[in-house]
């Protein structure tokens, strides 16, 4: 059996750490995959975006009912959505097409054995 070099061990550690980081980004509460059309999505669909709860989702709907979004950056005009939150959701929102985001699959409750 060959010995592992320090370079190989470091590479494996970096790869493992990267996998953990990537897994963590999709496993956050309220996260999902897919795109959200901010001009047509329901309050429930808007809440699939990271950092968007019930109050912000309702504020987005209220804003778009008064004036539909013409650019994604217009989300920053909604009360409670700043530059930081906009950068979090920017790659998950669109102005065209259908909302394709789906809630994460529900975990089955495991029964405790007695």
Q: List domains and CATH numbers for the chain.
A: 36-94 (1.10.150.320)
Cα Rg for the chain, rounded, in angstroms? 20
Q: Are 71 and 64 in contact (CB under 8 A)?
A: no
Q: Residue 38 pairs with which residues in a beta bridge? A: none
Give the count of alpha carbons within 13 A of 13, CB side only: 7
pLDDT for residue 26: 35
Higher pLDDT, 59 or 106: 59
Give, in degrees to the nearest 5, the angle at Cα 109 between 104 and 114. 160
Residue 33's pLDDT band (cuts 50, 70, 90):
confident
Does position 22 have pLDDT exceeding 50, yes or no?
no
Q: What percent of the chain has pLDDT over 90?
A: 59
- Average pLDDT (59-72) is 96
pTM beyond 0.85: no
């Amino acid at each position: 059996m060959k010995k592992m070099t320090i370079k190989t061990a470091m590479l494996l550690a970096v790869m493992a750490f990267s996998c953990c980081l990537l897994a963590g980004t999709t496993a956050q509460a309220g996260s999902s995959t897919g795109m959200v059309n901010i001009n047509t999505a329901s309050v429930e669909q808007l809440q699939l975006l990271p950092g968007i709860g019930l109050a912000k989702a309702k504020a987005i709907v209220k804003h778009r009912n008064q004036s539909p979004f013409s650019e994604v950056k217009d989300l920053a005009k909604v009360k409670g959505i700043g530059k930081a939150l906009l950068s979090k959701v920017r790659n998950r929102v669109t102005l065209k097409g259908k909302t394709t985001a789906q809630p994460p699959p529900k975990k089955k409750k495991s029964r405790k054995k007695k």
